[in-house]
Amino acid sequence: GQQLNQSPQSMFIQEGEDVSMNCTSSSIFNTWLWYKQDPGEGPVLLIALYKAGELTSNGRLTAQFGTTRKDSFLNISASIPSDVGIYFCAGQYFTNAGKSTFGDGTTLTVKP
Amino acid sequence: NAGVTQTPKFQVLKTGQSMTLQCAQDMNHNSMYWYRQDPGMGLRLIYYSASEGTTDKGEVPNGYNVSRLNKREFSLRLESAAPSQTSVYFCASSRVIGQPQHFGDGTRLSIL
């Protein structure tokens, strides 16, 4: 099956710093999704990417669909305490009936 | 704005007991999914229902059964619970298969 490698596994940063995380796949995807999960809650969609090379922003968040279709990046600028949580990438491909494959998550801790 | 509602939120079972987890969505979505999330891991797909009247196995279906009761409701059943099924279970829905998913807040299940 398709494998996703998400890194880093965890990050400890100071409030105000920028954050970068990424996902790489052993095979291509036609959709990349980024979710955030707060403690005790389900994941919430942050950004969806549908085209190779696409760069999309949502407030302080920016995500890119890699040109090889095997990777994606999420950047958070000027982090704030409420950015704390687990960030998941997910990839989808037509031949997998549109089902999502999830990375193992990046746990973000922001120190005030 | 309920979105995806899961019941119960917490449950403790003894090995061998049976249990049905309930999920309902009010967004008129066609596709519904069940995932499990174990510590330090991403979401793994158990079963999904692309549309009312259909169900298919995901990545980890063994030990589970599902029922798509109607367009709104998708239940997950453990016939004979095992300690390895201790996990947090998430239900999700999407407008159609392949679209970004909306998640419930999870059911935390412990099997002793």
Inter-chain touch A98–B103, beta carbons under 8 Å: no
Report how far residue B97's alpha carbon sits from residue B47's, in angstroms, rounded to the nearest whole number. Answer: 13
Q: In degrees rounded to 5, what are phi and psi of residue B33? A: -145, 150
What's the confidence (pLDDT) of residue A92?
87
Q: What is the pLDDT of residues B91-102, one digit of tens each?
A: 999 998 888 899
Q: How confident is the model at residue A100 (pLDDT cuts 50, 70, 90)?
A: confident
Instruction: Work out the minimum CA distance from B79 to partner chain A, whole angstroms.
Output: 25
Inter-chain touch A45–B102, beta carbons under 8 Å: yes
Chain pair A-B, CB pairs under 8 angstroms? 56
A22 three-state secondary structure? strand
Mutate to test the interface with B, among A9, A36, A86, A100 (most CBs of B within 10 A): A100
Q: Residue with structure tokens 């999407």?
A: B94
Report how far residue B46's alpha carbon sits from residue B59's, in angstroms, rounded to the nearest whole number. Answer: 6
Q: Is the pLDDT of residue A1 over 60?
A: no
Q: What is the pLDDT of residues A39-84, one digit of tens each?
A: 889 999 999 999 999 999 999 999 999 999 999 999 999 999 999 9
In the DSSP assignment, the letter for residue A44 is: E
Select the more confidently predicted residue: A1 or A103: A103
User: In chain B, which residue's Cα lies nearest the Cα of A9?
Assistant: B40
Which residues between 24 and 63 in chain A have a beta carbon less than 8 angstroms from any beta carbon of chain B? 31, 33, 35, 40-45, 48
What's the confidence (pLDDT) of residue A76?
97
Q: Is the pLDDT of residue A2 over 70?
A: no
Instruction: Work out the minimum CA distance from B14 to partner chain A, whole angstroms.
Output: 23
Assess A104–B contact: CB distance below 8 Å, yes or no. Answer: yes
Q: What is the pLDDT of residues A3-34, one digit of tens each?
A: 789 999 999 999 999 999 999 998 899 999 99
Q: How confident is the model at residue A96 (pLDDT cuts 50, 70, 90)?
A: low
Mutate to test the interface with A, among B5, B32, B43, B103 (most CBs of A within 10 A): B43
Report how far residue A64's alpha carbon sits from residue B15's, in angstroms, rounded to the nearest whole number. Answer: 45
Q: How confident is the model at residue A98 (pLDDT cuts 50, 70, 90)?
A: low
Q: What is the pLDDT of residues B28-78, one digit of tens each?
A: 999 999 999 998 778 999 999 999 999 999 989 999 999 999 999 999 999
Q: In degrees rounded to 5, what are phi and psi of residue B51? A: -155, 165
